Amino acid sequence: MLTLASKLKRDDAVKSGHSNSAVTDSVRRVSIRDRLLVKEVAELEANLPNTCKVNFPDVNKLHHFQLDVTPDEGYYQSGKFQFEVEVPEAYNMAPPKVKCLTRIWHPNITETGEICLSLLREHSIDGTGWAPTRTLKDVVWGLNSLFTDLLNFDDPLNIEAAEHHLRDKDDFRCKVQDFIKQYAR
């Protein structure tokens, strides 16, 4: 993160005429996405839910990070769920790509990690999909909410999990806990 932020500071030096050509070349390579991410990551880190933790494997690549969600209530309490977030070059016109890396029994997340969250859809019928005004903070809060208030059994991606919940809520809870013990510790 510091390297990208320092590139942006060098950009200010270039604008004021206090620069050499090496600095100028490195500043030109900073994309619009990366400029947005410097600001958004700072805002995200300042407003992160207490059940979430963000990890940047490479601090120079703000467009790729991992998110750990540890719900403190509901069916998924005591589990630790890891998501991989990849922000495309076309950001903020296109939404980040998110995959759940932790195997989970959830109506809105498949066992292979696909996620059903309207704000991650580029084109959404209900109008709640991605918009350029959305930020990484919205994505993180949305993923966190999949374990509480956005848990949706009526419009599932994992139909089998949703039907399981409708059939037998206690057995559904047991299966969720089995998955947590096996995969989400």
The catalytic site residues sit at 116
- Cβ distance 124 to 142 under 8 Å? no
117-to-78, 114, 124, 127, 168 alpha-carbon distances in Å: 22, 10, 10, 12, 24
Rounded to whole angstroms, the Cα distance separating 156 from 108 reads 5
| Residue 69: strand, helix, or coil | strand
Residue 85 contacts by C-beta under 8 Å, 6 or more apart in sequence?
64, 65, 66, 67, 96, 97, 98, 136, 139
CA-CA-CA-CA torsion sign (109, 110, 116, 122): positive
